[in-house]
Structure 1
Amino acid sequence: MNFNVLGPLAVQANGIPVNPGSARQRAVLSALLLTPGQPVTAGQLTEAVWPRNPPNDVMANLHSYVSNLRRLLEPNRPPRSRDTVLRREPNGYVLAVHADSIDAVLFERLLHDGRRLLQAGLHQRASRMLESALALWRGSAYPEVSDYALGAQAASRFEELRLLALENLWEARLAEERDLSVVAAELPALTLRFPTRERFSCLLMKALYWSGRRAEAIDAYHRTRRTLAEEYGVDPGAELQELFGSILRGDPIAGCA
């Protein structure tokens, strides 16, 4: 089976979509997918499914959701045989699935490999790897447990990794020496979407400057500076200021770290 949590929860068995059940049953499965292979207590599942005001019969409801998920995950398991995929252990419930069957785990591996290729100067391969990683996303991460503390933490962490993947992808595309005018035309959308993300501004300024659009690169810096001042009351970081100075002087510029 494959489990997709980088967007609304989706489950496939041999490539065929499987209905993971009601909203609360989906929350149970999502909570288990936060830490596959590790015990999740009944208390943690309760908090994930009912962040506020759990019902009086909470354990009966949990047992029902777990039983339904067991039938979903092991449809051909013989009656009265031991559960192997969703097990009850002394410390809680354990979802025993292969790590790469979860898109979030696969995303992290592809991101790591893409960054390694980028650092090795293999820009085209890095670009393809990072594109594959980002293609796994269909929405926000773990939305079924967004009100659960551990779910919210995981979603925040993966969103940061998603931005890191985007930054590395555009760095790889710039380093490939593609048509920089095309790259420079596409990067502004990211700087508008994430105006305080200095790395995107760095990449945009570099693309504009390399395309012979020095004045626009300077304007891009000033937009970022104003946004940072208005949002956080701070100046751009040292890297962006140094890049700005190089552009003003007309110096050659290196990549963004």
Structure 2
Amino acid sequence: MNFRVLGPLVVQVGGIPVNPGSARQRAVLSTLLLTPGQPVTVEQLTEAVWPRNPPSDVMANLHSYVSNLRRLLEPNRPPRNRDTVLRREPNGYVLAVDADCIDSAHFERLLHEGRRLLQAGMHRQASLTLENGLALWRGCAYPEVSDYALGAQTASRFEELRLLALESLWDATLAEECDFSALAAELPALAVRFPTRERFSWLLMKALYRSGRRAEAIDAYHRTRRTLAEEYGVDPGFELQELFGTILRGDPIAECA
């Protein structure tokens, strides 16, 4: 069994894609996938599936969705046999699947491994690992439960991890790249999209400086400084200021930072 939640929900059973059903049925499954192996109460499912104005026949609807999902996930289960994948327990419903079959967990493992390789100076291997992790993304995480508090919190957490993976990938790429001009052409889009994320600015400044575009690197610093002052009333952090000082002095940039 395989579940993809880094984008619209995709389900595979026995390597074959299956239709997870209606929007509310997908919301039920997505809610269970937020905490696989742990019980989810009827109240939690109700809040996730009907964030506003739940119907009077909530239990009947939930029972129908759960029954459909059981048939979907265990198509060969003999009649009257106990459900093993989607179980009803005293304190709620449990989706008894290993986190390894969910792409979000796979992405998180690849991110941690990529950062470990980066810290070990294995830049090419780090780049490949992080690229494989980022390739799992097809959109926002857990979009079927974006109006549910836990769903929104989980999606926000994974978006933060996605940005960390992008930063780590560029770190690894800059460490192994000889021609920085191509990188300096691609990084501005990220710096513009996330103007208060200092690491993207740091990477852009480094790429510009190493490609011989010192004045543009200085301009990039001042843009970030102004944005941080306007948005949050703060100055850039130590790392960004340190890199700015290095560029102003015309000193070489250390390979690791």
Scaled to the shorter chain, the TM-score interval is over 0.9
Letter in 2 for 1:236: P
Q: After superposition, where does 1:1-257 map in structure 2 within 5 Å? A: 1-254=1-254, 257=257
Mapped contact 1:206–1:217 kept (Cα < 8 A): yes
Q: CA deviation at 1:97?
A: 1.1
CA separation of 1:26/1:236 partners in 2, compared to 1, >3 Å: closer, same or farther?
same
Aligned AA for 1:188? P
Tell me how far apart the structure 2 counterparts of residues 88 and 178 of structure 1 sit (CA, whole Å): 57
Q: Which one-letter code corresponds to 1:183 in the other structure?
A: L
CA-based RMSD of the aligned residues comes to: 1.1
Percent of aligned positions with the same letter in both sequences? 85
How many matched pairs?
Answer: 257
* Separation in 2, partners of 1:246, 1:52: 54
**Separation (CA, whole Å) in 1 of partners of 2:172 and 2:198:** 17
CA change 1:222–1:94 in 2 (3 A) is same
Give the Cα–Cα distance (whole angstroms) in 1 for the partners of residues 4 and 106 of structure 2.
Answer: 10
Q: What is the TM-score with the length of structure 2 in the denominator?
A: 0.97
The separation in 2 between residues aligned to 1:18 and 1:126, in whole angstroms, is 34
Q: Report runs of 4+ in structure 1 exceeding 3 Å deviation.
A: none
For each residue in 1:213-234, what CA deviation from the matched residue of structure 2 results, as whole angstroms up to 9, or x when unmatched? 1111101101111111222222
- TM-score, scaled to structure 1: 0.97
Is this contact kept in 2: 1:174–1:207, CA < 8 A? yes
Instruction: Give ranges in structure 1 of 5+ residues lacking alignment.
Output: none
Q: CA deviation at 1:196?
A: 0.8
1:13 Cα deviation from its structure 2 partner: 2.2
Is the contact made by 1:202 and 1:256 (CA closer than 8 Å) also made in structure 2? Answer: no
